Structure 1
Amino acid sequence: RYIQQHNEVELSALGMAIATVVTIAEILKNNGLATEKRVLTSTVGMKDESKGRLVQKAKIEIVLGKSEKFDNLMSSPNRTESESAAADDKK
């Protein structure tokens, strides 16, 4: 919904959460909803609570924009609602 209003969205994650953000970005791209605009990687120094020292954590920032067919895909009648209703019926 955010991308509907703002035309782009930035996903960012640290450490172990990077895989989740990459997966979300790939799902949006593969479903034709978004296009990749920018991917930035870096490291961030964070203090390790248990050892009291500075630890470098990997960071990723992925900027996605609306695809050309985004509006058509989102306007198809109750696309996600009907899919989730069908899944509920199978339970």
Structure 2
Amino acid sequence: MQNYDEVELSALGMAIGTVVTVAEILKNNGLATEKKILTSTIGTKDESKGRLVRKAKIEILLCKSENFNTIMSSKKSDRPKSAEEEIKV
């Protein structure tokens, strides 16, 4: 999210829970705000049975929060220095 103002998370079927969790973590940490959520079903072909299977799909559009840069800069200063960073000092 540092390079872009918006990010879209999308998932099919069983992966939906993971995408929702990631979106909630970003929102709860104050890094993102929810702009749009779309749900739909898509048809995919089941190779083993040769028939069309319907799967749930979710798309979550998040944008940077107003405090994104402040939060990220404070997190960078809180993290321990790597060995490479310590050598430069």
Same fold (TM over 0.5): yes
Equivalence for 1:23:
21
How far apart are 1:80 and its partner, in Å? 7.0
The code of the aligned residue for 1:25 comes to: A
Give the greater-gyration-radius structure (CA).
Answer: 2
What fraction of aligned residue pairs are identical, expressed as a percent? Answer: 71
* Pairwise CA RMSD: 1.4
TM-score w.r.t. length of structure 1: 0.82
Equivalence for 2:84:
none
How far apart are 1:79 and its partner, in Å? 5.5
Larger relative helix fraction: 1
Equivalence for 1:68:
66
Runs of 4+ in 1 over 3 A off after TM superposition: 79-82
Give the whole-Å Cα distance in 1 for the aligned partners of 2:40 and 2:19. 15
Equivalence for 1:34:
32
Q: Does 1:12 align with 2:10?
A: yes
Question: Structure 1, residues 26-65: CA drift from partner, whole Å, max 9, x if none?
Answer: 0000000000000000011000111110000000000000
How far apart are 1:23 and its partner, in Å? 0.2
Q: Sort the Cα spacing of 1:77 and 1:19 in 2 relative to 1 into closer, same or farther, 3 A.
A: closer
Unpaired runs of 5+ residues, structure 1, are 83-91
TM-score w.r.t. length of structure 2: 0.84
